């Protein structure tokens, strides 16, 4: 089960799962209602802790193998902020495009303030912790991609801070490229490919026919 209510994340993660031979269900398809307590799941200081907390919560709730992530933007001139607070950095409780717009406006305000104080670097990294929890086990890995934050948005794809994040790998913003190209180098793509590699060892073990006979 994919433990996210973000339409943007689902669009990116479902193809990645499919490429590795996994079929996923979502919170919506299982009829798991949203609750106010879900926001409190991501209250830790690291991406890894937040991803594992989310996965454990929904694994306990549904009894399924659960995959979850926590991701965000780390900006050098802002001492790593917004980090784990990336989703609600502006303080808004809106969702979707409206929330993205407020967060990006707040980001530009903070960068302008940093520049006035002599911190002119716009280097940044997207970071993702991908976790999987199942009865009796858990694993969590990190993925990262580096870039530079632009003064003006470019592109209409992606979500979050993507229109401002100019990828060093792609030489374009994450909002300017197709989803598959973004997934090749994105923090989320790298984290989940590493996670699936780890999970192969847990869920695709060769069957010992001799041990089963008799």
Q: Residue 169 catalytic?
A: no
Handedness of CA 114, 45, 135, 5 (dihedral sign): negative
> Are the CB atoms for 189 and 16 separated by under 8 Å?
yes
Closest CA to 46 of 77, 70, 75, 81: 70
Distance CA 120, CA 117 (A): 8
> Are the CB atoms for 4 and 27 separated by under 8 Å?
yes
Chain-centre distance for alpha carbon 143: 9
Q: What beta strand segments (E) does 11-135 contain?
A: 66-75, 123-134
Closest CA to 60 of 46, 44, 41, 73: 41
| Given 69, 70, 100, 162, the catalytic residue | 70
Local structure of 212: helix, strand or coil: helix
List the catalytic residues.
Answer: 70
């Amino acid at each position: 089960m994919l433990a996210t209510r973000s339409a943007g994340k689902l669009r990116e993660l479902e193809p990645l799962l499919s490429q590795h031979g996994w079929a996923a269900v979502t919170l919506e398809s299982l009829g798991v209602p949203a609750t106010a307590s879900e926001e409190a799941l991501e209250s830790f200081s690291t991406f890894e802790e937040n991803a594992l907390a989310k996965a454990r919560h929904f694994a306990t709730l549904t009894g399924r193998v659960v995959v979850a992530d926590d991701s965000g933007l780390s900006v050098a001139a802002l001492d790593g902020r917004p980090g784990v607070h990336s989703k609600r950095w502006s303080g808004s409780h809106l969702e979707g495009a409206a929330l993205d717009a407020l967060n990006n406006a707040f980001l530009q305000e903070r960068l302008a303030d940093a520049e006035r104080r002599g911190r002119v670097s716009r280097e940044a990294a997207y970071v993702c912790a991908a976790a999987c929890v199942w009865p009796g086990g858990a694993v969590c890995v990190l993925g990262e991609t580096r870039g530079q934050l632009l003064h003006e948005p470019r592109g209409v794809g992606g979500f979050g801070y993507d229109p401002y994040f100019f990828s060093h790998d792609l030489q374009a913003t994450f909002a300017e490229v197709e989803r598959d190209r973004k997934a090749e180098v994105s923090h989320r793509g790298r984290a989940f490919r590493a996670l699936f590699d780890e999970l192969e060892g847990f869920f695709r073990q060769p069957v010992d026919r001799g041990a089963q006979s008799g």
